[in-house]
Chains A and B, each alone.
Chain A
Amino acid sequence: MKALNYSPEHLTSNRRLFWIAALLGLIMMAPVAWIIGLSLKDNAELLKGTEAVFSFPYTMENYANILKSSSVFGWFMNSMIVAVGQTFGVLLLSSLAGYAFARLEFPFRKTIFIIVLFGLAVPEQAVIIARHQMFNWFDLHNTHIGLILPNLSSAFGVFLMTQFFRAIPKEIDEAAMLDNTSTFRIFWKVLLPLTLPAQATLGIFTFLQAWNDYWWPLISATKSDMYTLTIGIASSQTNFAQSEGLGFLGAQAIFASLPVVLVYIFFQRHIVTAVSGGAVK
């Protein structure tokens, strides 16, 4: 019995810590509750004073207005296309390269790998202005491709996938080799399925990063029909007085985050495992 009490959980954690965390959780949720409250109020009423949030009546009018007139749908689709495209692109490029760096021999392999690792250190800011100019030359701005491409160059995925491929026991591909399988088949049919957890981790990171990207779409997606959700919401929140009221803005924020939040709630366990998977060294 006593030994049970001293399980690792109990030694690292206790009830008091939990309640402090719970309190922090409440503080964490308060702003969201506030926004939900605002989104359910009439804008004219809010104009007189936002303490109106705490009393009846509530209305769904702001949400109805979004469904009627807002461009949120278009922005959402753009964000989806960009985030999904970028995720697939990164997974594909990183898996191919990771496999080769981890398992194959080719001239200058080590040198190339080290150069790629240096890429990890280059922040977006160091290249963004030059990229903007380059994309001018090729008329790539205001296209989905133009929004997807830049982050495909991130070295993080290659680094991660190389690590994962290295972790797979060599016996597995060696067995496949005896069957005279081609290199690509070994990669595609034998090893790739084994990296699914890694793919999930990298995929979620890439998706979130693409979904939340701000600076690049800000200067590349400058036409309103190419706005991503991030840029679209930014364009409508900037001038509160000239916009449609706090309630409408709140409703827009809630509405725009709903899809990802739902996905998050449904797949929470997978996402948590995937994210934690990234840390396992």
Chain B
Amino acid sequence: MAESYRRSRWSNGLFVVPYLSVFLTLLVFPLGWGIWLSLNKVDLFGGERFIGLKNYARVLSDPIFGQAVKNTVIFVGVSVPTLVILGLFLALALNKTTKGSSFLRGVFFASSILSVTIVTLIWRIVFIPNDGLMALIFEYFGWQPIGFLSTTGWSLFSVGVATVWWCIGLPMMLFLAALQQIPKDLYEAAALDNASRWRVLTRITLPSIKSTIMLVAIIQVVMQFQLFGQAQLMTNGGPAGSSRPIVMYIYEVGFLRWDIGMGAAASQVLFLIILCAAMLQYWVSTRKEETDA
């Protein structure tokens, strides 16, 4: 009996048919169709005409796309390390069974369950000039007010603050889970050596959760590259496009300018960028492990 269970049968494949059909129709086909669209002059209301790589040429020579790539890379480059370091810090600080720790863990994770529109609503009302919480604080201390949502540099920063506030829960939780997995005898050995806290952190804790750090970093890179809602709702990409991420560029080209051929081309470029970033990270991490070993 056991033999037949292990035997390769077509009927066993039936278990994957439901997912596979969804996978093919809603992921594989649209991926191919999207690539086909990107090679066509086509707008929201039809009119397909094959134009080869012209859409890609337009995207890559568009200064605004360049700006959006730059914005997104800066955003990812700052927000991901912040999320990783802050998440790790919180996990270390709150890795206790006391009531206070568990309450704070709850607080830090709670924002993750809010939807992006509520997060941006909250932070807009914090950052808006004159009436916002920050404006009141600045006024109280007599500081020069800052246009958080309307000044080049600050606007992307503000989007980043809202994003970190929103996303910090998951990294913290993943790090906490990883900390729980570290074998206790490692610490006992360290205790016998009278090792300092810093030494314990760098020699035992961090190396033990290395793979989790990598996992968190890759998840966050992939997520933050897809920044859209926060920027659209808080700054609408402004001022002067200084907080417009790639996804918002795709949205605008497709749904404001009707040009879904060019939008599709831009989204394939984004796909490539994310793929490269994730693979680069993976490569760096595995290479390091090899040299370590």
A55 at the A/B interface (Cβ < 8 Å)?
A: no
Separation of A18 and B185 alpha carbons in the complex (Å)? 24
A238-270 Cβ-contact flags toward B at 8 Å (1 or 0): 101000001001101100110011001100100
Residues of A within 8 Å of B131, CB to CB, are: 46, 49-50, 246
CA distance A219 to B263 in the complex (A): 14
Determine if A126 and B201 form an interchain contact, defined as CB atoms under 8 angstroms apart: no
In the complex the two chains form, is B125's CB within 8 Å of A35's CB? yes
**Contact of B6 with A by CB under 8 A:** yes
Tell me, yes or no, whether A172 is within 8 Å of chain B by CB: no
Judge whether B33 and A130 touch: CB under 8 Å. Answer: yes
Binary interface encoding of chain A residues 1-15 relative to chain B, with 1 for a CB under 8 A from any of its CBs, else 0: 011001111011110
A194 at the interface (CB under 8 A from B): no
Q: Is B18 an interface residue (CB 8 A)?
A: yes
The number of chain B residues touching the other chain, given as a range, is: 35 or more
Taking a contact as CB atoms under 8 Å apart, the answer to whether B95 and A99 are in contact is no
Contact with A along B94-108 (1 / 0, CB 8 A): 111100110011111
Residue in A closest to B233 when the chains form the complex, CB atoms: A234
Cβ of B67 under 8 Å from chain A: no
Q: How far is the CB of A227 from chain B (nearest CB, A)?
A: 11
Q: Determine how close the nearest CB of chain A comes to the CB of B207; give it in whole angstroms.
A: 13
Collect the chain B residues with CB atoms within 8 Å of residue A24's CB. Answer: 90, 108
Which of B58-66, B75-83, B109-117, B284-292 lies on the face that meets chain A? Answer: B109-117
Q: Does B122 contact A (CB under 8 A)?
A: yes
Any chain B CB within 8 A of the CB of A116? Answer: yes
Interface residue B132 (Cβ < 8 Å from any Cβ of A): yes
Do the beta carbons of A278 and B95 come within 8 Å of each other? no
Complex alpha-carbon distance, A174 and B2, angstroms: 6
Binding site for B on A (CB under 8 A): 2-3, 6-9, 11-14, 17-18, 20-22, 24-25, 28-32, 34-35, 38, 46, 49-51, 92-94, 96-97, 99-101, 104-107, 109, 112, 116, 119, 121-131, 133-134, 149-150, 152-153, 155, 158, 173-174, 177-178, 180, 183, 186-187, 208, 211-212, 214-215, 219, 229-231, 233-234, 237-238, 240, 246, 249-250, 252-253, 256-257, 260-261, 264-265, 268, 271-272, 275-281
A11-B200, A276-B177 known, 8 other contacts, Cβ within 8 Å: A6-B190, A7-B184, A28-B165, A174-B2, A212-B116, A215-B229, A256-B118, A276-B176
